[in-house]
Structure 1
């Protein structure tokens, strides 16, 4: 069981923002709690984001991979493994660990996990696929891109429906990413095709700053050209703050 502080008392715990935060925290905690503590697998290269002797970072392994998309276009991506699984023969398999969470089955036409998960796990997964198809497709593609041999998912439910700060693990399920993609009707070839179309569209545009936005009501992605200087105010504020800190340090040394 994990304790989380997610929302203010004057806000509803089932608002979209709070539900998103709840799912994010559950995924982060679950992916670390199911690991065997003290037994780590190390890659040849150290973690590029660790500075100093900080040993309290989350368990993750980065794998950089490159694909050729044709027409002299190469894609380089930093993919992630959440853990390794050791077989009896000592062979290691990389896995991705994710968590599906139940918040209130009465509000999303779902089934009660505590009563139905053991006997109707397929129905529970089908309901999650109906309500969160994009999330499951994303997890599957991430596992495929990383080359993970397994995708392990946990079913996490609120300890009490009226309290989003305490959760309990109901069960787990393990899939082979390629087989799971076929099970949820995810076409990997179509996913690569969509990516290539977006790249081709971007390559045709003049140099500048653009925003890619998914239309909320249609299966359409829109590309917007942003005016010059958009979002630059935040960067300027950061630069100003760093300059102020530097000048303060200089004054202190004097």
Structure 2
């Protein structure tokens, strides 16, 4: 038997360059053409069987239905002229296909200011459709071929958005040289957390609230109400400066103290896009989760979660930049909260307003402060019963961790059957700026569509302001509010951010609003539990938690005790919104 032998194939050797020598022919590749390669070509699909007709116009600037982007796919080597062109040798002019498709009727319409890829209404037309396709760039709308339009919803970004310019954002505070990074937490780790809390108990109730004016439930486009400037004083004091919390801390009622604004921001961390920061104070065995005066938590964002957020500008006269829109939205919220109540009917809480001093002439805004105790202690089962629940024994798996949150209620609502039975309302305002300005999020014009297309308006706001609406829903749940009421506010003139008009209102139960905003309550409390446990392990001192401006990360820094000490007064005077 002859053993098999392996014969090494011939390998061409070229000392003068790469590949086989030019004078040496390779028989098996003799008749195969070579397609030249250009680095300027965009590499896409090898073949597009979905769009056979579109390949006839490849490289041309056509706006047909088959165009998927402003930058169409290029054939391999299309950027370089090639001699390998197939020439038809046989005459096939007599061969044709019958087009059995129905021909759309041509319509005419005004051209949209924002070019899209197909306005509703036919070939070459332009129009305003009810929805945008879930995709492509701004201005891609449902409709006929070659049209332009404006609509409502876009698709979420995918692999086709590889060339979309990335916006560089700046942190809300500058990291000092003496700051030491302790923790760097990625958002995807927070999304997996889960924790359940029991019903809270009230430990204090302070302030005064006005009764909600039910006439605002009947406001619509035909009976709009101009928004008036408010002369009331609004208080948003951080936890470590709250006199009620100082009293409760001395009484050892809790270990953790925070406001609903800080807690809901932490709960919605994974939804945030804009940067923000918190101050963590460890004093003895107590933990205070604070905000900075004049910091990002004092303002209401606009279209933070939109596909194209408002563009930041160095031009101070640009009223549609994110910072100017936040100032405008904060002022609109406060003015609506006082305009939507009856200033002649006021309900006093057991304790007065803890922040309003007697020598201040201006009256305080309508607000009741409810201090609620939540138990964040982790328990474990040490003995499980067999026949009845009485045999179940549990014990604390860690140190007791009660937390007091100061929540806010904006108005009281009397019942028609029993005027003495009151329910509490949380008031907020959704404001729309110029619908033609960049960053409008593809929203419908409220002045035209609010009454007839309320559902589409709500869906668009839920998409563009996911973080803001989730925070409002969580604030309603934490405070125990019976209703959350929204006011729809628009500018009287698109270029004037000082004068506004209320054109409608809408009411939700906090549970329904949380469901509408797709809020996972267990995950929200899981984030709070994880952050509190992490902060309680820190030694005494001051720390800063920063939301990274360009990455989905939370960072905790150890900072000197005198950090921010001299900035409070400066931030207070520079705050464009009147605040005490």
1:232 Cα deviation after fit: 3.8
SS of the equivalent of 1:36 reads strand
Whether the aligned pair in 2 keeps the contact of 1:159 and 1:167 (CA below 8 Å) is yes
Is the counterpart of residue 138 in structure 1 residue 468 in structure 2? no
Distance 1:50 1:228 in 2: 28
Of structures 1 and 2, the one with the larger relative CO (CA 8 A, separation 6+) is 2
- Which has a greater percent of strand? 1
Report the more deviating stretch, 218-227 or 156-165.
Answer: 218-227
Distance 1:21 1:234 in 2: 19
Distance 1:157 1:117 in 2: 11
Deviations 1:172-228 (A, max 9, x none): 000000121012110111111101111112122233211111123344322112245
TM-score scaled by length of structure 1: 0.85
Q: 1:235 to 1:124 in 2, by over 3 A?
A: closer
Q: Which one of 87, 98, 110 corresponds to residue 415 of structure 2? A: 87
**Mapping 1:203-218, distance limit 5 Å:** 203-218=536-551
Whether the aligned pair in 1 keeps the contact of 2:228 and 2:335 (CA below 8 Å) is no
**Mapping 1:1-254, distance limit 5 Å:** 1-2=226-227, 11-52=317-358, 54=361, 56-70=363-377, 71=398, 72-89=400-417, 90=419, 91-106=421-436, 107=438, 108=440, 109-227=442-560, 229-234=562-567
Deviations 1:99-123 (A, max 9, x none): 0000122332111001111121121
Q: Which runs of 4+ in 1 moved over 3 A?
A: 232-237
Q: What number of residue pairs does the alignment pair up?
A: 233
TM-score scaled by length of structure 2: 0.38
SS of the equivalent of 2:504 reads strand
Whether the aligned pair in 1 keeps the contact of 2:227 and 2:339 (CA below 8 Å) is no
Whether the aligned pair in 2 keeps the contact of 1:3 and 1:165 (CA below 8 Å) is no
1:164 Cα deviation after fit: 0.9
Distance 2:568 2:334 in 1: 28
SS of the equivalent of 2:412 reads strand
Distance 1:22 1:233 in 2: 27
Whether the aligned pair in 1 keeps the contact of 2:368 and 2:408 (CA below 8 Å) is yes
Q: 1:29 to 1:153 in 2, by over 3 A?
A: same
Distance 2:561 2:358 in 1: 38
Distance 2:568 2:343 in 1: 40
Distance 1:98 1:60 in 2: 13
1:233 Cα deviation after fit: 4.4
SS of the equivalent of 1:44 reads coil
Distance 2:341 2:568 in 1: 38
Distance 2:489 2:228 in 1: 13
Distance 2:433 2:525 in 1: 33
1:56 Cα deviation after fit: 1.6
Report the more deviating stretch, 203-212 or 183-192.
Answer: 203-212
1:124 Cα deviation after fit: 1.0
User: Structure 2: 5+ residue runs without aligned partners?
Assistant: 1-225, 230-314, 378-397, 571-580
Q: 1:114 to 1:233 in 2, by over 3 A?
A: closer
Distance 1:232 1:37 in 2: 37
1:36 Cα deviation after fit: 1.2
SS of the equivalent of 2:457 reads helix
Higher CA-based Rg: 2
Q: 1:135 to 1:10 in 2, by over 3 A?
A: closer
**Which residue of structure 2 aligns with residue 240 of structure 1?**
none
